């Protein structure tokens, strides 16, 4: 049960006024919500909330690290002389997700071209768009597409170029 205790006002430099709403929440202590267009909370957190926030921040940091692209054991960001790459995304046998293969001139085997994480573990994607978004976040832009037939199968290859800064 949230209890309302009233408004407190704080005036700064007489240019604007910020109003605070003081609320008492049983599990969280005192909570202040600024009365803005989109109100947000500034909380006095208890120990459980602090631990939860620390864990959440660690997960976010890990996710950010996991978003780097590794191919053949090398981070794509460290390859300075590579400006163009081709990407092929396909479902492997009996799989529900896509594997993505990236060619920057390193070799022709799928093992050398598969996109992995920092631990050389294969990355799987829900769709090609997820692969494209990952490449976009890592500084690559889609330039062109073309079809290639290999061993009787037709693949769509996507050409990406490193974004110019």
- Tens-place pLDDT, residues 119-148: 889 999 999 999 999 999 999 999 999 999
Closest by CA position to 120, among listed 73, 52, 55: 73
Closest by CA position to 122, among listed 92, 145, 151: 92
150 & 81 share domain: yes
39 & 119 share domain: no
Beta strand 115-116 with 84-91: parallel, antiparallel or unpaired?
Answer: unpaired
122 & 137 share domain: yes
Look at residue 44 in the predicted model and tell me its pLDDT.
Answer: 53
Q: Which of 66, 94, 110 is the last residue of a domain?
A: 66
The residues of the chain scoring below 50 in pLDDT are 1-20, 22-23, 31, 34-43, 65-66
Structural domain boundaries enclosing 113 = 70-162
Radius of gyration over alpha carbons of the chain, in Å? 25
99-134: string of b/e by CB count within 10 Å (b at 16+)?
bbbbbbeeeeeeeebbbbeeeeeebebeebebbbeb
58 & 110 share domain: no
Q: Which of 66, 97, 115 is the last residue of a domain?
A: 66
Q: How far apart are CA 55 and CA 165, in angstroms?
A: 35
Q: How far apart are CA 124 and CA 117, in angstroms?
A: 10
Look at residue 107 in the predicted model and tell me its pLDDT.
Answer: 80
18 & 95 share domain: no
47 & 96 share domain: no
13 & 86 share domain: no
50 & 9 share domain: yes
Look at residue 13 in the predicted model and tell me its pLDDT.
Answer: 40
154 & 83 share domain: yes
Look at residue 1 in the predicted model and tell me its pLDDT.
Answer: 46
81 & 108 share domain: yes
Q: What phi and psi, each to the nearest 5 degrees, are found at residue 151?
A: 55, 40
98 & 19 share domain: no
27 & 97 share domain: no
Q: Are 37 and 103 in contact (CB under 8 A)?
A: no
Q: Are 99 and 122 in contact (CB under 8 A)?
A: yes
Q: Are 145 and 156 in contact (CB under 8 A)?
A: yes
Closest by CA position to 103, among listed 69, 138, 63, 67: 69
Q: Which of 19, 44, 66 is the last residue of a domain?
A: 66
When divided into structural domains, the chain yields a total of: 2
């Amino acid at each position: 049960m949230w209890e309302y205790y009233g408004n407190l006002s704080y005036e700064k430099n007489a240019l604007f006024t910020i109003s605070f709403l003081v609320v008492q929440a049983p599990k969280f202590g005192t909570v202040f919500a600024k009365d803005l267009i989109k109100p947000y909370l500034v909380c006095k957190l208890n120990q459980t909330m602090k631990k939860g926030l620390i864990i959440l921040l660690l997960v976010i940091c890990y996710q950010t690290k996991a978003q780097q692209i590794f191919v053949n054991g090398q981070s794509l960001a460290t390859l300075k002389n590579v400006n163009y790459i081709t990407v092929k995304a396909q479902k492997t046998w009996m799989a529900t997700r896509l594997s993505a293969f990236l060619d920057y001139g390193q070799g022709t085997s799928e093992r050398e071209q598969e996109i992995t994480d920092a631990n050389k573990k294969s990355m799987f994607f829900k769709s090609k768009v997820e692969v494209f978004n990952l490449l976009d976040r890592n500084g690559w832009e889609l330039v062109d597409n073309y079809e290639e037939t290999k061993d009787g199968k037709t693949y769509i290859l996507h050409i990406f170029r490193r974004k110019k800064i």
